[in-house]
Structures are given as structure tokens and as C-alpha cells.
Amino acid sequence: MSNPSLKNQIIIITGASSGIGKQMAIAAARKGAFLILMARSLDKLQIIQKDINDNYGVEAEVHAIDVSDTNAVQHVFSKIFNHHGHIDALINNAGFGVFDYFAEADPNDIKKMFEVNVIGLMNCTRMVVPYMLKSNKGHIINVASIAGKLATPKSTVYSASKHAVLGFTNGLRMELAGTNIHVTAVNPGPIRTNFFDIADPSGQYIANVGRFMVEPEKVAHKVVDIIGTNTREVNIPWTMSTGARLYQIFPRLVEKIAGNLLSKK
């Protein structure tokens, strides 16, 4: 069941300067939420902030931050809690990916993917959980990926980082069982955003899987609709989600039958 209104709820979104982060901010603003938006690019955040403040009748607060910087996260989140006292939801959306065969992968890219996708997500979550436990309410939404369930060639490291996100999310959900804090994993397939400008500058990936790509607005609306609900996972699109489930049951068969398709990057 979706939440029809988020009026006056305080929602933090990381990676909010573009892509699904930006679209989630707009979708939540339409439902009346007070947005706290985070990303590395302050200029881009301020443009979105002005759009929200001017057009949706709600306020948005922005913070320039690299979530992989533990000290910076502690400083910004402490300032937020000192000012607001609480938050209602954290959407961990900041992410980074580079598609390369592992033998050719740059060690710096490997390190950065885990620093942002895993450590950064944990940094932000670690700051909100104690406050949510005190009030016994809240929602943590971690944007993982179908790639965390169904690894493919050239996304070896990215898939590993998202697999870690899923493991963390599932473990945290069990730790918080019995409380009123919800923990949700969001597993999108490829989304039509500028993510692939960095992940695959050749454009080959988009050319091969373009028909499977999801529009960012669709993902954003599905995520915002479940804020405040006890939803375990959101998987988009259903075709890739079904493929991931089949892979978990029949991994050897799926690798054999769908090997050519999975290798298209």
C-alpha cells in the first residue's frame, strides 16, 4: 500500500543531484515532504532546491557531501539532527559504477565503487539508526540493483558492491525486527540516466540493452510511494526481476541459456 501523502515528513536523499535521486526529490516534494538533499555537486543541488521551493510549495535543504568521507558524513548528519531533531526516512541513493572486465579494471575504480556504494551507504545509515531507535520509527531505503542478484560480465565489481548492499540491507532489517523502523532494498535494472556516461562511455551497453532500460521517473515514483510502508523489496522491471529469481534457483541453466545476453556490455 502506497503512502498518499508525505506532508511535513523529513526525508534525506543522497545522490540527489541527478538521475533517480533528482526524480525522487521531485516526486516526494509533490507529496508535501520536506527534503534534505545531498550530493557532491552543490551547484546542481541548488538548481533542484530552487525548483522545489518555487514550484511545489515545500522546502528543500541541500548539503554538498561525499558520502564516502566518514568525517564529513558525521559532521553533516549531526548538524541535521541538531537542527531538526529527527528524520522520517533516509534514501541511500548515491552510487558509482564503472563497467570493465576485471582483468582490466583500474584499482582506483574498484576502491571508489566500494567506498561510495557500500561504505558511504553504511556511513549515512549508521548516523540515522540511533535516532530512529530512540523514536522507534523511520524508514531506511537502500538503492541496490538487480546486478546485486544477477552478476554479469564487465559489471563484476559493481555487482559485488551491490551484492554487499543487499546483504547489509537484509541483515539490518533483521536487526531492527520488532521495531517500527522499516528497511527496504530497491533493485532497479538499467535506468536511462547519465550513470552510463561514466559506467560505459563507449555507449555499447545502452545500445545492447536499451529495450530493457527503465525511465528514472518510473523508478522514483515506485520508491516514493512505499515510503513509510513495510515493504521488503522493490524490483524494477519485472522482467529482470524474474530473471534474477530464476538465476538464484537455476544458476547453471541461466548462465548457459542467457550467457550471450548477459555478456552484452
Please give the average per-residue pLDDT across 179-185, as a whole number.
98
Task: Reply yes or no on whether the pLDDT at 2 is more than 70.
Answer: no
Q: Model-level pTM?
A: 0.87
Helix 156-175, helix 121-135: angle, nearest 10: 10
For every residue of 2-32, DSSP letters joined together read --S--TT-EEEEESTTSHHHHHHHHHHHHTT
4 occurs within a structural domain: no
Say how far apart CA 148 and CA 212 lie, in whole Å. 17
Band the pLDDT of 9: cuts 50, 70, 90: very high
Q: Would 5 be classed as within a structural domain?
A: no
Percent residues over pLDDT 90 in the chain: 69
**Cα gap 97→197, rounded to integer Å:** 10
Q: What is the pLDDT of residue 205?
A: 53
Residue-number span of the structural domain to which 115 is assigned: 10-262
29 or 197, which is more confident? 29
Q: Tell me whether residue 133 is in a domain.
A: yes
Please check whether residue 2 lies inside any domain of the structure. no
The dihedral formed by the CA atoms of 138, 93, 185 and 174, expressed in degrees to the nearest 10: -50
Average pLDDT, the chain: 88
Phi, psi of 13 (to 5 degrees): -125, 120
User: Is the distance from CB of 32 to CB of 25 less than 8 angstroms?
Assistant: no
Report the domain count for the chain: 1
* CATH number of residue 135's parent domain: 3.40.50.720
Cβ-proximal residues to 261 (8 Å cutoff; 6+ apart), any chain: none
Angle at 243 between CA 241 and CA 244, to 5 degrees: 65
pLDDT grade for 22, boundaries at 50, 70 and 90: very high
- Looking at residue 1, its pLDDT comes to 46
Is 224 a domain residue?
yes
Distance CA 136, CA 173 (A): 14
Cα-to-chain-centroid distance, residue 19: 11
Q: Which residue has the higher pLDDT, 60 or 252?
A: 60
SS3 for 172? helix
- pLDDT tens digits for 107-152? 999 999 999 999 999 999 999 999 999 999 999 999 999 889 888 8
What per-residue confidence (pLDDT) applies to 262?
53
What amino acid is encoded at 111 in this protein?
K
Amino acid at 174: M
What is the rounded distance in angstroms from the CA atom of residue 244 to the CA atom of residue 250? Answer: 10
Residue in 139, 126, 39, 138 with CA at minimum distance from that of residue 77: 126
Residue 252 domain flag: yes
pLDDT at 251: 72
Give the model confidence (pLDDT) of 183-241 as tens digits.
999 999 776 656 555 545 655 655 555 556 678 889 999 999 999 999 999 998 766 66
**Does the residue 173 lie in any domain?**
yes
- C-alpha grid cell, residue 166: 543487499
Backbone angles phi, psi at 181, to 5 degrees: -100, 120
Catalytic residues: 158
In a domain, 1, yes or no: no
Mean pLDDT (whole number) for 173-183: 97
Residue 26 has pLDDT above 50, yes or no: yes
| Residue pair 47/124 in contact by the 8 Å Cβ criterion | no
Q: Which helix (H) or strand (E) segment is 39 a member of? A: strand 34-39
